[in-house]
A and B are shown apart, each in its own frame.
Chain A
Amino acid sequence: MRVLSWWIEWPVGVVRTGVVFLVAVTAIAALARYPEVVRERGEVAANGDALSYADREIAGGNGLVGDQQAVYQARARIPVDETYRVEVGEGYRGDTDLAATYVADFYTYFLMPRRPAADAPWIICYGCDLTRYGSAAEVVWRNEEEDISLVRLRR
């Protein structure tokens, strides 16, 4: 009876009960999720291990750039002190709905320290009409299937 009253007497017993109850709820919630969370991290690590370095480096851009080679070709061929622009043709659909909207942002991130500029001599074309650049345009790399081109304008 004394033990019981230690837990229920007003107000300190109720406080004791409340503290123990809330700590128990917290501990149960933590322990219930803990194995799943650690296992999930293990799975994420295994999935990451299975990726190529390109998959990891491009990461969020994989659904935007169409072909990993496009970003690597752009990085390899555009000198770090030259400027570039990304042009997306009206009809370009890409792998996802987001591609046309965000592919230029991804190149901004990926190609640094190269700067984007509206009058840049290098153009990364996604589904754009190459004929409009005339004879000054030299296609230095192209993926026909995805309709992606890396173009250099001669001045």
Chain B
Amino acid sequence: MTLRAIAGLVALNAVFLASGAAILWLVRGWRTWAELARLGGLAYLVGVACTGTCLVLLLIAGAPLSAWLVLAVAGAFVLAAALGGRRLGRPRPTLGTVPETMNVFVTAVGIAFTGVFFEALFRATRLSGLYSWDAWAFWVPKAKAIYFYGGLDEQFFTTLPGAPYPPLVPVVDAAAFHFMGGPDVVTLRLQFWFLALGFTWFLAGVLCERVPAWILWPFVVLMLVAPRFGARFAVPEADFLLGFFFVAAAVLVYFWLQEPERWRLLIAGVALCGLVLTKREGVLLAVLLLLATLAASAPRRRQAWPALGVTAVVVAVVAVPWRIWYVVHGVPGEGPPSAFSIRENADRAWPSLRLALEVLFDSGYWSVIVPVAIGALVVASLARRWTPVLFFGVLIALVTLGGGWITWAIPDLPITQEFGGNPIVRYMGAAGLVSLAAAPLLLAEAWSRAAAPSAPDEAA
């Protein structure tokens, strides 16, 4: 643990932020500096997804990872975005003001709570080690292998546990090692602190566009203190980055459903590319998000579905090379053995689904997030806000069914919430996080309807 290592991590994450900000400038422009500050978390996640995805694809193609390669990829994004943005006539940002929904007092209190939490988490994280089995047994060894050998070393990437897991997190970790100046496994946890900070910034900054501050900030603070979130965000595993990308994609897709600006779907596609290269569950979550979006966009399917089809194809194209790599190298597949056989394990179907539901409603993991999200769905239904109800209701239901399907389709998994035996709690983190993002959006929609009761009902 040295100041040099911390400075290296700051530099790496500044590179992610800069590349994401440049990409957003290309696709949507920055009207004001205040807007850039508000959407900095989105820019950061876009930077991680874009740079990480490119690095993964380059490693699969045989390029050796180095700090220079990270800088070259991020620099290429910045340069391309700058040239493209100028060509598209994107304006330079002006000073600007904050959105009307951003009540300054409530926002200041929310930022203060968040700041104190992240300061405490920073102190706890920078003096901790790798205690989680998954972290030292395969996530960090894979990162070390990339750092020491430059690429996807065949011996380690085919024999370590979790061999078919996609390598985006090890690639980000290896980039962190390069920027820190060595494989400092103690300081590495701070990289996950940065990811958590970026996601929190994303959540507050993007949602405040539509959610009044008094509705939004209690949910942000609740996320930080929920037993399975917050303090665990700095564990060097892939579960939370998976959830971050999933929620980012879901929120952007929802905004696109409400206001079909093309850049939102484009950036959701970027988050989905990160999602499918972060963990094997990412493919399942991407498919479920696509299904929920298809359902919610059915009334205007002629415009929406072709765009969704193109996005799905791009995400699939990004997901395929890693799957080819591990098949070519003889690694057993990541899919469950009886994925679609209804007859096999029929007796496990209900216990598996019940397990997913028990985890979903367990306040020991997500505090009151899920019951509040269900309540928000009911309230938004009363307010006849059908698009958010349909989209988030279907999405949460599908993710829960997906959790049941995983346990059911892998007969070796015991029906248990025990972390070492069944990944259900890790997986359901995606349902918990998306419920957390959905609830304030649903409540804000309902409140806006209640504030203007003469507004027309939304068509179902």
Pairing of A with B: yes
Instruction: Select the residue from A37, A49, A105 with max chain B CB neighbours within 10 A.
Output: A37
Q: Which one, B124-132, B278-286, B397-405, is touching chain A? A: B124-132
Q: Decide if B104 is an interface residue (CB 8 Å cutoff).
A: no
Q: A11-B383, A19-B450, A56-B186 are in contact. Are A37 and B225 (CB under 8 A)?
A: yes
Q: Which one, B85-93, B211-219, B302-310, B406-414, is touching chain A? A: B211-219
* One of A13, A34, A38, A59 near B130 (C-beta < 8 A): A59
Q: Which residues of A contact B317 (CB under 8 A)?
A: none
Instruction: Select the residue from A23, A55, A59, A60 with max chain B CB neighbours within 10 A.
Output: A23
* One of B123, B128, B141, B446 near A56 (C-beta < 8 A): B128
Cross-chain contact B379 with A44 (CB below 8 angstroms): no
Assembly CA distance A37 to B113 (angstroms): 12
Q: Which one, B142-150, B165-173, B257-265, is touching chain A? A: B142-150
Q: Return the CB mask of A39-78 against B: 1 if under 8 Å, else 0.
A: 0111011001101010111111100000000000000000
Cross-chain contact A19 with B215 (CB below 8 angstroms): yes
Q: Decide if B357 is an interface residue (CB 8 Å cutoff).
A: no
Min CB distance B225 to A, Å, is 4
Assembly CA distance A43 to B439 (angstroms): 32
Q: Decide if B163 is an interface residue (CB 8 Å cutoff).
A: no
Q: Which residues of A contact B133 (CB under 8 A)?
A: 60, 102
Q: Decide if B47 is an interface residue (CB 8 Å cutoff).
A: no
Cross-chain contact B372 with A57 (CB below 8 angstroms): no
Q: Which one, B9-17, B23-31, B69-77, B114-122, is touching chain A? A: B114-122
Cross-chain contact A48 with B439 (CB below 8 angstroms): no
Min CB distance A114 to B, Å, is 10
Q: Which residues of B contact A22 (CB under 8 A)?
A: 372, 375-376, 379, 439, 443
Cross-chain contact B222 with A26 (CB below 8 angstroms): yes
* One of A16, A33, A60 near B129 (C-beta < 8 A): A60
Q: Which residues of B contact A33 (CB under 8 A)?
A: 225-226, 367
Q: Which residues of A contact B126 (CB under 8 A)?
A: 48
Q: Which residues of A contact B221 (CB under 8 A)?
A: 27, 30-31, 34
* 8 A Cβ contacts from B342-395 to A: 367-368, 372, 375-376, 378-379, 382-383
Q: Which residues of A contact B215 (CB under 8 A)?
A: 19, 23
Q: Decide if A112 is an interface residue (CB 8 Å cutoff).
A: yes
Cross-chain contact A112 with B382 (CB below 8 angstroms): no
Q: A26-B439, A49-B127, A59-B130 are in contact. Are A41 and B450 (CB under 8 A)?
A: no
Q: Decide if A109 is an interface residue (CB 8 Å cutoff).
A: yes
Q: Decide if B453 is an interface residue (CB 8 Å cutoff).
A: yes
Cross-chain contact B443 with A38 (CB below 8 angstroms): no
Q: Decide if B83 is an interface residue (CB 8 Å cutoff).
A: no
Cross-chain contact A45 with B127 (CB below 8 angstroms): yes
Assembly CA distance A41 to B447 (angstroms): 36
Q: Which residues of A contact B161 (CB under 8 A)?
A: 105
Q: Which residues of B contact A44 (CB under 8 A)?
A: 124, 128, 231
Q: Decide if B185 is an interface residue (CB 8 Å cutoff).
A: yes
Q: A45-B120, A109-B137 are in contact. Are A34 and B225 (CB under 8 A)?
A: yes
Q: Which residues of B contact A109 (CB under 8 A)?
A: 136-137, 140-141, 144
Min CB distance A26 to B, Å, is 4
Assembly CA distance A57 to B182 (angstroms): 14
* 8 A Cβ contacts from B227-259 to A: 230-231
Cross-chain contact A27 with B218 (CB below 8 angstroms): yes
Cross-chain contact A34 with B128 (CB below 8 angstroms): no
Q: Decide if A120 is an interface residue (CB 8 Å cutoff).
A: no
Cross-chain contact B230 with A56 (CB below 8 angstroms): no
Q: Which residues of B contact A113 (CB under 8 A)?
A: 144, 148-149
Q: Decide if A130 is an interface residue (CB 8 Å cutoff).
A: no
Cross-chain contact A57 with B141 (CB below 8 angstroms): no
Q: Which residues of B contact A12 (CB under 8 A)?
A: 383, 449-450, 453
Min CB distance A38 to B, Å, is 5
Q: Which residues of A contact B183 (CB under 8 A)?
A: 112
Q: Which residues of B contact A38 (CB under 8 A)?
A: 116-117, 120
Min CB distance A9 to B, Å, is 9
* One of B123, B130, B149 near A42 (C-beta < 8 A): B123
Q: Which residues of B contact A30 (CB under 8 A)?
A: 218-219, 221-222, 224-225, 367
Min CB distance B373 to A, Å, is 9
Cross-chain contact A23 with B113 (CB below 8 angstroms): no
Min CB distance A28 to B, Å, is 9
Cross-chain contact B230 with A37 (CB below 8 angstroms): yes
Q: Decide if B67 is an interface residue (CB 8 Å cutoff).
A: no
Q: Which residues of A contact B98 (CB under 8 A)?
A: none
* 8 A Cβ contacts from A108-135 to B: 108-109, 112-113, 115
Assembly CA distance A12 to B383 (angstroms): 7
Cross-chain contact B379 with A18 (CB below 8 angstroms): yes
Cross-chain contact B368 with A29 (CB below 8 angstroms): yes
Q: Decide if B135 is an interface residue (CB 8 Å cutoff).
A: yes
Q: Decide if B155 is an interface residue (CB 8 Å cutoff).
A: yes
Q: List 15 A-B contacts (CB under 8 A).
A: A16-B450, A18-B378, A22-B372, A26-B368, A30-B219, A30-B222, A34-B221, A48-B126, A49-B127, A59-B130, A60-B132, A106-B136, A109-B137, A109-B144, A112-B183
Given A30-B221, A30-B224, A56-B127, 8 further pairs, Cβ under 8 A: A25-B368, A26-B219, A26-B222, A30-B218, A38-B116, A40-B231, A55-B129, A112-B141
Q: Measuring CB to CB, which residues of chain A are less than 8 angstroms from any residue of chain B?
A: 11-16, 18-19, 21-23, 25-27, 29-31, 33-34, 37-38, 40-42, 44-45, 48-49, 51, 53, 55-61, 102, 105-106, 108-109, 112-113, 115
